[in-house]
RNA sequence: UGGGGCGUCGCCAAGUGGCAAGGCAGCGGGUUUUGAUCCCGCCAUUCGGAGGUUCGAAUCCUCCCGCCCCAGCCA
């Protein structure tokens, strides 16, 4: 592990396991259930598990925890793999499936039955709940708890053969119905589900529960560190019970950490799905969604997401990270890696009254990094600038174009506004200005400096583009707590701009290319809808704006 | 009011008995052909609270307070 990495309890404990020879190599795993799209919270788990394996020279598996076929599908299996790879990770070996271990799990269940440590229970779900007791009251033994090994074995084998209906019986561990830890009150190991499984088809009418399967899956794969979230901490005694009572040669070490939450975000699958179902967003990968595919389509670089996950740290305390921290990581990454370009959002015609010839300009593609090279731009007498960049008059804080005042056209000449035309309503129709300098880069000979720099595009050469400007989906920082999601929605989370004009060079932009439109923000060519004939850019994130007085 | 966790700056988070890192946000200032970037400076005499142990405590002990998780045949 490199020295500049912040220490956290996970690294400390793994290092200790290595130092004390408790393990000789690190094997972790990212074990999603394929029942939805991955989101920013999963990204944290991915960076933790793959990151730890990488740091300690170990390996990380991708394993689908597919023990509940009714909620899972191939679509999610595909999207999850794509998202993990996009984030920059490659799992060790083949993709693994819990379902590939069903036979072994079944054998182990049989073993518990033989040992008198598991029994088939015929209680209905309601009855089972009543027998379970409450948080403060111990449970009662199931009347089926005393079944003989022979009977339990017979019943369980017949469960597998499909002789019983869904929900009719379950296999339970025989532990302690009075345990203060509810997870130990004879937890269910297998339930009957006559459902086709996306991997095993109709092979199984019974499926193991997560609690019975998960730890054993880790055992089978030789996982040394089973890293999971806090809510599984009190399941650990149960997992240990399985390990102690099953003929397994290996004992993974489970370590829990707090899941990542960010402000202004919801990640519960139910709520994400609600946003889709109510057409508040356009799908799992809508650029406003906190899904990996949504962030990707928004233009958030994988590296920024990785850095963010590292920067927020890993601890055991429930916390909500300010989403501004994610945005900061995105800006930091994009500032260094996005080429610059110009885009006029709300075009206002500007005529250069004294420009005789179109002027060829060599404009750097990055203000600092020379390796980005230059591009040629042509400055014509007829331009578009942004409406916001012109005022007939303004105070000295307005560092843009004002009649009688000067600005520099980005990469080009210094101009001075002379006059403007207005319509009957007083709205400015076009602006007339004269060039003060003749050579790009020159300062005015009279020493009167321009007030600022504004972006522009050539009126005849620029190409129209659709720009989608995004804002946060929610108006409150903790939408997850809202009783009604629709009540905390930001109604203006998407603004589609169809008047924008981008510089001609952008016809070569490929889907997912990100640019900084100077003075505005970062924009990504939409992964699916961008075409060179009809550019579509999504606003990734605006430039940081510390201008205190927007009214100049 | 059973069990398991967690409480260090507005938000994250190092620190594990020796004189409170860092990031984000914020606030000043400098540079600048992006009101961006970059650079400099400021930002916890104090670690949920109260006692105690100690030469010395965020770190150890005691009690208290607050928050989170668990009663799916979900994961």
Residue listed under structure tokens 């600092």: A368
| Per-residue model confidence as pLDDT tens digits over A195-223 | 999 999 999 999 999 999 999 999 999 99
Q: Which residue among the candidates A11, A33, A349, A418 is catalytic per the annotation?
A: A33
Classify burial at A151, counting beta carbons within 10 Å of its beta carbon; exposed 0-12, middle 13-18, buried 19 or more: middle
Mean pLDDT of chain A: 96
Confidence category of residue A505, pLDDT binned at 50, 70, 90? very high
pLDDT of residue A552: 37
Q: Which of A85, A269, A336, A422 is catalytic?
A: A269
Question: Cβ of A195 < 7 Å from strand B?
Answer: no
Q: Which CATH class is domain A3-257?
A: alpha beta
pLDDT at A2 over 70: no
| Cβ atoms of residues A252 and A224 within 8 Å | yes
pLDDT interval class at A500 (50, 70, 90): very high
Reduced 3-state DSSP string for A24-76: CCCEEEECCCCCCCCEHHHHHHHHHHHHHHHHCCCEEEEEECCCCHHHCCHHH
Q: Which nucleotide is closest, CA of A125 to its C1'? A: B73
Fold of the CATH domain A463-542 = Ribosomal Protein L25; Chain P (2.40.240)
Can A259 be counted among the known catalytic residues?
yes
Cα distances (angstroms) measured from residue A312 to each of A1, A74, A101, A201, A551: 18, 32, 36, 42, 35
- Quick: pLDDT tens for A353-366: 999 999 999 999 99
User: What confidence score (pLDDT) does residue A26 get?
Assistant: 98
* pLDDT one-digit tens code per residue, A208-265: 999 999 999 999 999 999 999 999 999 999 999 999 999 998 899 999 999 999 999 9
Gap from A11 CA to B63 C1', Å: 34
Protein-covered nucleotides on strand B (Cβ within 7 A) = 1-8, 10-16, 21-27, 33-38, 67-75
Q: Residue A4: what pLDDT?
A: 56
Topology of domain A341-458, CATH? Ribosomal Protein L25; Chain P (2.40.240)
Strand ranges in A309-459 using DSSP code E only, listed in sequence order: 340-341, 343-344, 347-352, 359-364, 374-379, 382-386, 390-391, 401-402, 406-409, 414-422, 428-435, 453-454, 457-458
Residue A551 reports pLDDT greater than 60: no
Distance B74 C1' – A45 CA (angstroms): 19
A69 strand B contact, CB < 7 Å:
no
A261 CB contact with strand B at below 7 Å? no
Q: Is A449 a catalytic residue?
A: no
Per-residue pLDDT averaged across A59-69, rounded? 98
What pTM value is reported for the model? Answer: 0.96
Task: Tell me if A3-257 shares its fold with A463-542.
Answer: no
Give the Cα separation of A150 and A111 in Å (integer).
Answer: 12
CA of A321 to C1' of B34 (A): 29
The pLDDT assigned to A396 comes to 87
Note the pLDDT of residue A148. 98
Which of A11, A153, A251, A259 is an active site residue? A259
| pLDDT for residue A180 | 96
**In this prediction, does ipTM exceed 0.95?**
yes
| Mean pLDDT of all residues in A523-534 | 96
- Answer for A508: CB within 7 Å of strand B: no
Catalytic (active site) residue A269: yes
Separation in Å: B30 C1' and A116 CA: 77
User: Any atom of strand B under 7 A from CB of A24?
Assistant: no
Sorted by where each begins, the domain ranges of chain A are: 3-257, 341-458, 463-542
- A548 falls in which pLDDT band (50, 70, 90)? low
Overall size of chain A counted in residues: 552
Residue A267 to residues A37, A170, A261, A317, Cα–Cα distance (Å): 10, 32, 8, 18
């Amino acid at each position: 592990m490199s020295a500049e990495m912040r220490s956290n309890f996970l690294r400390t404990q793994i290092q200790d396991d290595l130092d004390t020879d408790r393990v000789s190599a690190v094997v972790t795993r990212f074990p999603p259930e394929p029942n939805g799209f991955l989101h920013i919270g999963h990204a944290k788990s991915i960076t933790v598990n793959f990151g730890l394996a990488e740091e300690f020279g170990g390996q990380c598996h991708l394993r689908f925890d597919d023990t509940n076929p009714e909620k899972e599908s191939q679509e999610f299996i595909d999207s999850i793999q794509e998202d993990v790879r996009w984030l920059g990770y490659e799992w060790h070996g083949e993709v693994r499936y819990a379902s590939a271990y069903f036979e072994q799990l079944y054998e182990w269940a049989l073993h518990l039955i033989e040992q008198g440590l598991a029994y088939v229970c015929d209680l209905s779900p309601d009855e089972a709940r009543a027998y379970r007791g409450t948080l403060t009251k111990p449970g009662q033994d199931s009347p089926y708890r005393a079944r003989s090994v022979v009977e339990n074995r017979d019943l369980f084998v017949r469960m597998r053969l499909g002789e019983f209906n869904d929900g009719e019986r379950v296999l339970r561990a025989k532990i302690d119905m009075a345990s203060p830890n509810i997870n130990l009150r004879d937890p269910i190991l297998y339930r009957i589900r006559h459902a086709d499984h996306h991997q095993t088809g109709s092979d199984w009418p019974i499926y193991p529960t997560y609690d019975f399967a998960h730890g054993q899956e880790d055992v089978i794969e030789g996982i040394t560190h089973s890293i999971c979230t806090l809510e599984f901490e009190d399941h650990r005694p149960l997992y240990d019970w399985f390990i102690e009572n099953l003929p397994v040669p290996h004992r993974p070490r489970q370590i829990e950490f707090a899941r990542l939450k960010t402000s202004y975000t919801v990640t519960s699958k139910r709520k994400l799905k609600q946003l889709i179902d109510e057409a508040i967003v356009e799908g799992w990968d809508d650029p406003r969604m906190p899904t990996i595919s949504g962030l990707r389509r928004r233009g958030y670089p994988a590296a920024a997401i990785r850095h963010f996950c590292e920067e927020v740290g890993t601890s055991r305390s429930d916390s909500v990270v300010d989403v501004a921290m994610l945005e900061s990581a995105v800006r930091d990454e994009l500032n260094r890696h996005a080429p610059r370009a110009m885009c006029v959002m709300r075009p206002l015609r500007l005529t250069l009254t004294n420009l005789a010839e179109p002027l060829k300009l060599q404009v750097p593609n990055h203000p600092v990094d020379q390796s980005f090279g230059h591009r040629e731009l042509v400055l014509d007498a007829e331009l578009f600038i942004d409406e916001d960049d012109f005022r007939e008059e303004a105070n000295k804080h307005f560092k843009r174009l004002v009649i009688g005042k000067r600005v520099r056209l980005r990469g080009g000449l210094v101009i001075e506004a002379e006059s403007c035309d207005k319509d009957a309503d007083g709205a400015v129709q076009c602006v007339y200005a004269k060039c003060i300098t003749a050579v790009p880069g020159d300062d005015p000979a009279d020493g009167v400096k321009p007030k600022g720099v504004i972006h522009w595009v050539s009126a005849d050469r620029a190409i129209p583009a659709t720009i989608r400007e995004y804002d946060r989906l929610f108006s409150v920082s903790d939408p997850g707590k809202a009783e009604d999601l629709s009540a905390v929605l930001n109604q203006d989370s998407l603004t589609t701009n169809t008047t924008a004009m981008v510089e001609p060079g952008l016809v070569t932009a490929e889907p997912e290319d990100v640019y900084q439109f100077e003075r505005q923000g970062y924009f990504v060519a939409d992964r699916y809808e961008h075409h060179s004939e009809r550019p579509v850019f999504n606003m990734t994130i605006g430039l940081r704006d510390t201008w205190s007085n927007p009214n100049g």
